[in-house]
């Protein structure tokens, strides 16, 4: 159903405060506006729910006259809101997908906005229009690209969803220093699609080793209970860890593996005496238990107690409460 055929239904969907509207599936393989029936695939672009859009704009601390780089034009909605606050001629938006960039350009011009729309890699920014006062990203990142820091003025603000492959649930606000380093806190929860280059590459590795069965010393339901704050901490404590939840035959299973090392998955069946398939290379489930214990022992901190420092050389250090309290990191 297109927005032209049912404008009132589309308006109601777009202005729903707590629901996102998916506008692209599998990088354009399916068009949700014209496809009928159920569509299988991953959502790759959307109009974000208005509640998180407004929350993000509030943390951006945007003023009239600020120059803004908007990473991820999508439909153009966020770009238009930025221009309403900063004013015409102050917004540059970049979109990696040609079709989405053209859509954003059409939508913005039709609505009377002047923001410059660039089709390109958002991680590289738009250097010819730098320096910017603000940078806002509408997708989740696992690292802060150097170009973002280099293209902001000292004191400029970077606001982006941020996390790990295990959990992308943090909203990060960084201030760029005069030396190009950046530091700040996680100011809210936020679950977004990944920047394309930050997605997990490929599927989980095959099981090519002999399985070793064991009982979990802790109930997986209590460890992997879906708590956003716990998952965020686990993902930061074990870099490269990713997870796939599946359900079948009455059991919930959790597959864990390391993206960087391509180590063999560790399969966990939820239950009070869960069976764990251990890898001979490393015990990922044991590392998850240790990370969850760390979170428990530190008072079960919420995401907003964490922060991030990005050094001049691009090193990323997650910390708890203060920059000197760096998180211990598992082996990668």
Collapsing DSSP to helix, strand or coil, 160 comes out as: strand
Residue 193 CB-half CA count within 13 A: 23
* Burial of 195 from C-beta contacts in 10 A (0-12 / 13-18 / 19+): buried
Q: What is the DSSP string of 278-304?
A: E-SS--HHHHHHHHHHHHHHTT---GG
Residue 48 annotated to the active site: yes
Cis amide bond preceding 131, omega within 30: yes
Q: Where are the beta strands (DSSP E) in 146-219?
A: 152-162, 170-176, 182-189, 212-215
Of the residues 48, 75, 167, 168, only one is catalytic, namely: 48
Query: Could you give the CA distance from residue 268 to residue 222 in angstroms, rounded to a whole number?
Result: 13
Nearest to 247 by CA among 223, 273, 268, 226: 268
218-222, long-range: CB < 8 A, 24+ apart? 218/289, 218/292, 219/270, 219/271, 219/272, 219/274, 220/254, 220/268, 220/269, 220/270, 220/271, 220/274, 221/252, 221/270, 221/271
Q: Residue 154 carries which DSSP code?
A: E
Cβ neighbours, 10 Å, residue 245? 12
Radius of gyration of the chain (CA): 21
Looking up tokens 């590392």, which residue turns up? 287
The total number of residues written for the chain in this structure = 332
Query: Could you give the CA distance from residue 55 to residue 84 in angstroms, rounded to a whole number?
Result: 16
Catalytic residues: 48
């Amino acid at each position: 159903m297109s927005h032209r055929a049912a404008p009132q239904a589309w308006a109601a969907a777009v202005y729903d405060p707590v629901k996102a509207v998916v506008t692209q599936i599998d990088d354009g393989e399916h068009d949700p506006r014209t496809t009928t029936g159920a569509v299988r695939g991953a959502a790759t672009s959307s109009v974000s729910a208005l509640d998180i859009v407004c929350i993000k704009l509030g943390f951006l601390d945007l003023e009239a006259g600020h120059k803004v780089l908007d990473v991820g034009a999508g439909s153009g909605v966020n770009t238009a809101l930025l221009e309403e606050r900063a004013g015409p001629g102050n917004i540059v938006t970049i979109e990696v997908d040609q079709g989405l960039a053209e859509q954003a350009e059409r939508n913005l011009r039709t609505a009377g906005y002047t923001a410059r729309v660039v089709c390109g890699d958002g991680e590289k920014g738009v250097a010819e229009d730098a320096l910017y006062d603000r940078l806002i990203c509408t997708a989740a990142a696992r690292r802060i690209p150097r170009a973002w820091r280099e293209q902001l003025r000292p004191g400029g603000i970077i606001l982006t969803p941020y996390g790990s492959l295990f959990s992308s649930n943090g909203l990060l606000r960084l201030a760029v220093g005069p030396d190009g380093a950046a530091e700040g806190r996680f100011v809210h929860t936020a679950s977004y699609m990944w920047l394309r280059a930050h997605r997990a590459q490929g599927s989980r590795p095959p099981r090519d080793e002999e399985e070793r069965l064991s009982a979990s010393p802790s109930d997986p339901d209590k460890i992997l209970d879906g708590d956003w704050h716990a998952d965020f901490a686990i993902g930061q404590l074990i870099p490269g860890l990713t997870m796939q939840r599946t359900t079948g035959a009455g059991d919930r299973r959790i597959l864990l593996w390391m993206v960087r090392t391509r180590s063999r998955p560790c399969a966990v069946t939820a239950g009070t005496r869960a069976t764990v398939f251990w890898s001979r290379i490393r015990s990922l489930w044991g590392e998850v238990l240790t990370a969850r214990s760390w979170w428990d022992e530190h008072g079960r901190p919420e995401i907003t107690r964490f922060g991030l420092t990005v050094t001049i050389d691009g090193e990323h250090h997650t910390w708890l409460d203060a920059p000197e309290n760096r998180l211990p990191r598992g082996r990668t």
